[in-house]
Amino acid sequence: MITSSANPTVKRIRALRQRKERDNTGLCFVEGVRQVAEAVQSGADVVQLVVAPALLTSPFARELVAGQAAAGMPVVELAPAVFASISQKDGPQGLAAVVRQRWLTLSQARLEAPPGWLALVEPADPGNLGTIMRSADATGAAGVILIGPSADPYDPVALRASMGAAFAVGLARCTWEAFAQWKRSTGSFLLGTADSAPTDFQATRYPQPLVLLMGSERQGLSPEQQALCDRVVSIPMRGRADSLNLAVATGVMLYELLRQQRGV
């Protein structure tokens, strides 16, 4: 039982709040009974459970920890005040986990089933990114390719918004140049969206599987990025707003792909 917040193990876990530490170690920090259970159930590569037995009142959570410990999972026990020092919640539930990040290479990103892959250019908001992973999972997308400097899908905010989907969908990251090369060499159909595109997204048929490319929150797709696409479509806007939230726009596109797939 660790009773000091200055313990080296505790300091290493706390440091996972910082992106730099996550990038350097390839680890992330998952907190809360529901989120840890989702990670375990999704087959995430859990390195270590972090438990404050005095806070862990849920019988479900106690059984989860006991079962994992019996199967050989390392469990670190913390005093309640030490757990609170690593917690990012108002009411810590006494359960967290250190999980290894999982990244696919682009060559592992295969277009095998509809709708295919989702590719995001420099998404900046981790909450949006988490919500998008959740929608990708819900619509059966293989995963998300992050192009250029992007929010971290293993950011605690992204993990929370993904509701476990971060551990269920594939994740890859690359430069724009590598993405363009992958698109050309695989011959994948690339579908982009832009406000200015004359083609209405609901009035055209898509060959699936495909790669759905969404621009960044602030700038959308640049002319160069649109030029790589096999088709660029727009989502009509009726009000005074000239754009949708990125996660909403992505969800709307994914469900149009699902509708066409199902022929309804």
Calpha distance 232→242 (Å, rounded): 17
Count CA atoms within 13 Å of residue 200 on its CB side.
4
Taking CA 236 as the corner, what is the angle to CA 235 and CA 241, rounded to the nearest 5 degrees?
100
Q: Which stretch binds a second copy (CB under 8 A): 2-10, 46-54, 207-215, 231-239?
A: 231-239
Told to check if 2 binds a second copy by CB under 8 A, we report no
- Give how many residues touch a second copy by CB under 8 A: 41
Told to check if 218 binds a second copy by CB under 8 A, we report no
Taking the least distance from each CB to a second copy, the nearer of 84 and 244 is: 244
Taking the least distance from each CB to a second copy, the nearer of 78 and 209 is: 209
| Phi and psi at residue 22, to the nearest 5° | -65, -45
Stretch 76-115 residues interacting with a second copy (CB under 8 A): none
182: which 2 tokens? 């992958």
Output b/e per residue, 46-75; b: 16+ Cβ within 10 A.
Answer: bebbbbbbebbeeeebbebbeebeeeeeee
Taking the least distance from each CB to a second copy, the nearer of 164 and 192 is: 164
Taking the least distance from each CB to a second copy, the nearer of 131 and 150 is: 131
Q: Which of 37, 52, 144, 165 binds a second copy (CB under 8 A)?
A: 165
Minimum distance, C-beta of residue 98 to a second copy, in the bound complex (Å): 22
Q: Which of 202, 207, 219, 227 binds a second copy (CB under 8 A)?
A: 202
Taking the least distance from each CB to a second copy, the nearer of 165 and 212 is: 165
* Site map (CB under 8 A) of a second copy, residues 125-144, x = contact: --x---x--xxxxxxx----
Q: Which stretch binds a second copy (CB under 8 A): 45-53, 71-79, 170-178, 200-208?
A: 200-208
Taking the least distance from each CB to a second copy, the nearer of 77 and 256 is: 256
**CB proximity list for 154: less than 8 A, separation 6 or greater:** 22, 28, 101, 166
Q: Which stretch binds a second copy (CB under 8 A): 52-60, 94-102, 163-171, 222-230?
A: 163-171
Taking the least distance from each CB to a second copy, the nearer of 176 and 255 is: 255
Rule CB under 8 A: which residues touch a second copy? 41-42, 127, 131, 134-140, 161, 163-165, 168-169, 200, 202-203, 235-241, 243-245, 247-249, 251-252, 255-256, 258-259, 262, 264
